A and B are shown apart, each in its own frame.
Chain A
Amino acid sequence: MLKRALAIITLLIIGYWLAQGLAGVPFGEDRMLVAQYYLDHVKEQTGAVNTVTAVVVNYRGFDTLGEVTVLFIASTGVGALLWRKKRERTAKTEGSIVLTTGTRLLAPFIMLFGAYIFIHGHLTPGGGFPGGATIATAFLLLYMAFTVYEIPHKTFEKVEGAVGMAYVLVGLIGLAIGGYFLYDWIWQDWGFGVDNVGRLLSGGFIPVIYTIIGLKVGTELSGIIDNMLKEEVSE
């Protein structure tokens, strides 16, 4: 009990200290500096309506590249650690009839919905990460419902790599055309969709990148699910 009490006292001190710091950052006040610039210029500079998306993909695109890499590392790492000579699914009970029928019916629509989320990232809330996660939940559902279902590993792994390369390549094309890495050549140089702000065909390379991210997140998360579900079997 002594240890618990000590831990709680330490935590309360930390909490008090944090609250002291936060008192200097009052809640609900306008302290925007760089953010105000984003809000003022987002429409003409990136063509996106959703400012968060514009910040994530365009202004701070480097972060997102890193973020995609982190997810890639996770999927690679899980694959590396759970790698065995021969692994199979060991689930024994098939899902109930409601689950299997429902899954057959719903899985394509869930994937479609995920695709919708990431394609419309520059207009509505959402974007590549929730979209990709939604696609992964469709695969999760398939895994739950059917005992023998497996994702096509080879294809998924190749898609993962190729899509990641496509992201870097988009950046490198920007370097070649505009002279800057991750330069938005579709919007800034071609001016594609300038009259279309607020509709689907606008936003420069944001939809392109978000499609890439959506595919990548979807394949990676399904790969993680697959790796976690399969167990080693002896020959």
Chain B
Amino acid sequence: MISAYYFGAISLILIGLYAILVKKNVLKMLIGLSIMETGVNLLLVSVGYISGRSAPILSEGIGPNQAVDPIPQALVLTAIVIGVATTAMALSVAMIIYEKYGTLNVEEIRRLRG
């Protein structure tokens, strides 16, 4: 039996991948990519979770043996920022595509390019 968090994360990854594989609109593909990245982040954080423990902030009352794994959280912080950087990059490229071809549909773009 798989945990609910894993299930949610895998579903997000698959839905994002579906959008990338099937959709023709560039912006829709990028939305899919974004959802997929969220799913991956959720997966990473759930891998680091330990049941019954609290956040890794060691102020009063929380000792080193009562905190969840801090490393995946640090990794996800990095991954989120990388994700938004990729998205910004991709959107500006999409703007150039629209400027040159007047459409965002990849099939149309192929046809216009010949």
Interface of A toward B, CB cutoff 8 Å: 3-4, 7-8, 10-12, 14-15, 18-19, 22-23, 25, 27-32, 34-36, 38-40, 42-43, 49-52, 54-56, 60, 63-64, 66-67, 70-71, 73-75, 77-78, 81-82, 123-125, 127, 129, 198, 217, 224, 227-228
The smallest beta-carbon distance between A81 and chain B, in angstroms, is 5
Checking A19, A29, A35 against B10 with a beta-carbon cut-off of 8 angstroms, the contacting residue is A19
A50: nearest chain-B partner, CB-CB? B57
Give the CA-CA distance A227 to B92 in the complex, in Å. 9
Checking A19, A39, A198, A217 against B70 with a beta-carbon cut-off of 8 angstroms, the contacting residue is A39
Q: Is the CB of A35 within 8 A of B70?
A: yes
Q: Is the CB of A70 within 8 A of B77?
A: no
Give the CA-CA distance A28 to B64 in the complex, in Å. 17
Q: Does B82 contact A (CB under 8 A)?
A: yes
Q: Does B106 contact A (CB under 8 A)?
A: no
Q: Is the CB of B49 within 8 A of A27?
A: yes
Q: Does B81 contact A (CB under 8 A)?
A: yes
Using known A-B contacts A30-B50, A77-B89, A227-B92, determine if residue A42 contacts B77 with beta carbons closer than 8 Å: no
The smallest beta-carbon distance between A51 and chain B, in angstroms, is 4
The smallest beta-carbon distance between A57 and chain B, in angstroms, is 9
Query: What chain A residues lie within 8 Å of B89 (beta carbons)?
Result: 73-74, 77-78, 81
Interface of B toward A, CB cutoff 8 Å: 2-3, 5-6, 10-11, 13-14, 17-18, 21-22, 43, 46-51, 55-59, 64-65, 67, 69-71, 73-75, 77-78, 80-82, 84-86, 88-89, 91-93, 95-96
Q: Is the CB of A55 within 8 A of B71?
A: yes
Q: Is the CB of B2 within 8 A of A67?
A: no
The smallest beta-carbon distance between B70 and chain A, in angstroms, is 4
Tell me if A's interface is mostly helix, strand, loop or mixed.
helix
The smallest beta-carbon distance between B102 and chain A, in angstroms, is 15
List 21 contacting pairs A-B, 8 Å CB cutoff, sorted by A: A7-B18, A15-B14, A23-B2, A27-B51, A29-B51, A32-B69, A39-B56, A39-B65, A55-B70, A55-B74, A56-B77, A66-B78, A67-B78, A67-B82, A71-B84, A73-B89, A74-B84, A74-B86, A77-B89, A81-B92, A129-B80
Q: Is the CB of A51 within 8 A of B82?
A: no
Give the CA-CA distance A235 to B16 in the complex, in Å. 42
B1: nearest chain-A partner, CB-CB? A23
The smallest beta-carbon distance between A156 and chain B, in angstroms, is 16
Q: Is the CB of B18 within 8 A of A11?
A: yes
Using known A-B contacts A51-B56, A74-B88, A78-B92, determine if residue A19 contacts B6 with beta carbons closer than 8 Å: yes
Using known A-B contacts A39-B70, A52-B70, determine if residue A124 contacts B64 with beta carbons closer than 8 Å: no
The smallest beta-carbon distance between A34 and chain B, in angstroms, is 7
Query: What chain B residues lie within 8 Å of A39 (beta carbons)?
Result: 56, 58, 64-65, 67, 70
Query: What chain A residues lie within 8 Å of B74 (beta carbons)?
Result: 52, 55-56, 60, 63
Query: What chain B residues lie within 8 Å of A228 (beta carbons)?
Result: 88, 91-92, 95
The smallest beta-carbon distance between B50 and chain A, in angstroms, is 5
A22: nearest chain-B partner, CB-CB? B6
The smallest beta-carbon distance between A44 and chain B, in angstroms, is 11
